[in-house]
Chains A and B, each alone.
Chain A
Amino acid sequence: MLLLVQYTIIFASVLCLVALGGCFSEHSGVINLGLDGIMVMGALGGAVTMFLLPAEASGVVIVLATTFAAILVGVIYSCLLAVASINFKADQTLIGTAMNLLATAVATVFVRAMNTSLNPDNVSSSIQYIHEKKAFLKYVGKFEFNWFMLMAVVLLVLSYFILYKTKFGLRLQACGENPQAADSVGINVYAMRWAGVLISGFLGGLGGIVYITAGVSEWKFEMGVAGFGFLALAVMIFGQWRPTKIALAALLFGMFRALSNVYTGIGFLAALHMPSTVYNMLPYIISLIVLAFTSKNSRAPKAEGIPYDKGMR
């Protein structure tokens, strides 16, 4: 049971971080379908950093360097969305989709070119980080505490504060709801949207590295992040674009994802003798059902998805 809680929290952290990223981007008026791709790139940045760090590096250095690298790559990658959708007014859905396709491909090619496997003839797209991963963990009794959990909570509180208590948050939301109104009171809509997208790159990249270090010590980049970016989008919608509700939604979805890792340890579930694939599918199926029933009443930022053009008033 402790294991279920532990996995629930770590997966919820991933979903929460990435969904918050989407939340910032969408509140600024840009739909970020590329979150999945941003996660992959963040994960790549973090994993490569762990691989390259010298074996004798201290725990603090590993944690900080990996986190920083993941965030940096995520932010850089999100610039693609910002440039294309804000400056060139491209279709945001298409750009997001392209980013997802591109990210997995780039990561696979990159890792294969590095060829990290012990046998040079066996070209693999995996990176191992068994040793480095331990730096993130701290055992509290039997509970495996992960520094990323703390980061997620801190960023959640910070997000809430920024969105609802600061000038920046008020202006950001105005840009996503009615950019013409924001412009008419002297707010630079383009700058605010850039900020929104870059923040989503920050949180998405971080979410990526958290995801691939949760539960496993090796990642095969051909898999991307198994659609977790899309699951985060579902969490964001279910959470009605509000940090508090997003956190709760993330816990719910995180729990279903955690089940697939630990169901064998839970007596009655194991007794059902259901194939593990059923549990693996669970979060995705749940998201389908939940969205089918709730998305009709969802209150997305009104102007999201529409490129802002100063000339159109």
Chain B
Amino acid sequence: MGQEYAIEMVNITKRFPGIIANDNITLQLRKSEIHALLGENGAGKSTLMSVLFGLYQAEEGVIKKDGKEVSINNPNDANDLGIGMVHQHFKLVQCFTVLEIIILGVETTSGGVLQMDEARAKVMALSEKYGLQVDPDAKIEDITVGMQQRTEILKMLYRDNEILIFDEPTAVLTPQEIDELMVIMKNLAAEGKSILFISHKLNEIMEVADRVSVLRRGKYIGTVEVKNTTKEELSRMMVGRDVQMVVEKEPSKPGDTILKVENMTVASKLHSNNAVKNVSFEVREGEIVCIAGIDGNGQTEMVYGLAGFEPLVEGKIILCGEDITKASIRHRSTHGMSHIPEDRHKHGLVLDYPLEYNMVLQRYFEPEFTAKSGFLKKKDIRGYSERLEAEHDVRSGQGPITIARSMSGGNQQKAIIAREVDREHKLLIAVQPTRGLDVGAIEGVHRHLIEERDNGRAVLLVSLELEEVMNVPDRILVMYEGELVGELDPKKTTVEELGLYMAGAKRNLSVDANTSEIEESEVVDNTREGKEEAK
């Protein structure tokens, strides 16, 4: 019976101080199957994989390979057992070539000298066998994320690993690259590799996996055959209650223009090119406009420009008819701009301040919170904080005096949203507001954004999550390499079409177009992999 499993983790329990990350979990991976591990953030997926990969040692339970008990104390042990992992954040060296990074650690040498030709032949053979196209001599920093991921997969294959762990592999890919990855994973399984696929995206699991094991809050919920289940059932297993999969909203009723951006150009901190190039758009009251795109295409810098973190190289920002291009951050925030920042630890909270001070970060100087004598009105601040916490269901250990650092990510985010929404504002900029939140919390954030819209605010949403992009906004603007390349109607477009825009293969906006006046026009679709072939 045990023979049919490539790897088994039986009754694994792993405790951290104050929390049981894995509570008696059993995971059995059959030979040449794709087994998905599903769970929300903090459900214990990563901990379980770290135990399997030898990064942590479990307090209880055993790991069996081919029915025999094994002990895995470090990643080397895992490698020796043929277990390989594509980490969520790739373990690559930017200035190495693809070939160098693949052989690193298992180099073939002769008299201490690297034998690259042998390695190259083996890599090319593997690349052909599994359809993993890479350029062995390209530097990692020059290749696409998709190719970087293929390099990571080749790394495992080069080591003859039999058990392949994919940790949230699709988070960084375009829809087309995701499709390719799915094909690759199926090929690998067909060739006899056993695959563990960690994900919280139900669509992908339904498409590619044979079986799926679900974890919730550190507990093992169950394992089901994918062909016998539905997305709804899986999400119920994952969250523990019914979740609304579709965001419900009325059609938008856009009013006056609140935010007008003209020819905005922002410099990049990473390279000499500009990160945002000549971008123009408008956001009107009562609508949600979403800036979509793959991470690193200038969205961050664009928001920095809007919020005043970075000066513009060129262009103009007009908020409610007032030119705020050169205005200070405080001026922007007191004149109608609310901002839910991308990095809540860096720009959203002062982590070592109590929650109550964080709640008045942009307002402490107002008469409501500061007396004429210059002292803070502590009682009023506390009262205000308590009210926000109650209204927005922010949960914290000690209420207003909880140190922000000690709160969970979801509650930190709720606190920021509460603060930004409660302030007097006309425009809400929300940058990846659901990042790192679990499904239940995501639902709440989306509801908030739509409520804001219905209250006549202009909402600018920046998102990397396709599902969010398709469901929440009223208009989609796609950003690619610092330019707005497309304007799409979420009701009329498809994920596939959106993907083409995000990959730069398609565009319907010219460089200096004023977006709000351009009609959709089809531009000849060049190849699906236009960007990669250009390499």
Contacts and interface: CB of A to CB of B under 8 A. Distances in A.
A167 interface: yes
B107 A167 contact: yes
Given A173-B93, A177-B96, A185 B114 contact: no
The CB with the most chain B CB atoms within 10 A, among A165, A171, A174, is that of: A174
Interface in B74-126: 75-76, 79, 85, 87, 91-96, 100-101, 103-107, 109, 112-114
Interface in A155-190: 165-168, 170-171, 173-174, 177-178, 180-187
Interface in A263-313: 299, 302, 313
A187 to B, nearest CB: 6
A173 B87 CA distance: 21
B370 to A, nearest CB: 39
Contacts of A170: 96, 100, 103-104, 107, 114
Provide the main secondary structure of the chain B interface.
loop
Nearest to A185: B105
Interface residues on A, range: 20 to 34
B114 A178 contact: no
Interface residues on B, range: 20 to 34
B109 A177 contact: no
Contacts of A186: 75-76, 79, 105
Contacts of B114: 165-167, 170
A177 B101 CA distance: 12
A187 B104 contact: yes
Contacts of A183: 75
Contacts of A299: 95
B106 A181 contact: no
Contacts of A184: 75, 85, 87, 91
B104 A166 contact: no
Contacts of B91: 178, 180-181, 184-185
B113 A178 contact: no
A174 B140 CA distance: 13
Interface in B54-83: 55, 75-76, 79
Contacts of A181: 91-93, 101, 104
A254 B88 CA distance: 48
Interface in B236-255: none
Nearest to A180: B91
B84 to A, nearest CB: 10
A166 B105 contact: no
B405 to A, nearest CB: 17
Contact of B92 (A167, A173, A178, A187): A178
A177 B104 contact: no
Contacts of B96: 170, 173-174, 177
Contacts of A168: 112
A37 B75 CA distance: 38
Nearest to A167: B107
B113 A165 contact: yes
Contacts of A187: 104-105
A243 B50 CA distance: 39
Contact of A302 (B76, B94, B107, B112): B94
Nearest to A184: B91
The CB with the most chain A CB atoms within 10 A, among B79, B95, B100, is that of: B95
Interface string A37-57: 000000000000000000000
Nearest to B105: A185
Interface in A112-168: 165-168
Interface of A: 165-168, 170-171, 173-174, 177-178, 180-187, 299, 302, 313
28 contacts: A165-B113, A165-B114, A166-B109, A166-B114, A167-B107, A167-B112, A168-B112, A170-B96, A170-B100, A170-B107, A170-B114, A173-B96, A174-B93, A174-B96, A177-B94, A177-B95, A177-B96, A178-B91, A178-B94, A181-B92, A182-B105, A183-B75, A184-B87, A185-B104, A186-B79, A187-B104, A187-B105, A302-B94
Given A171-B104, A173-B95, A302-B94, 12 more contacts: A166-B109, A166-B113, A167-B112, A170-B100, A170-B114, A173-B96, A177-B93, A181-B93, A185-B75, A185-B91, A185-B105, A187-B105
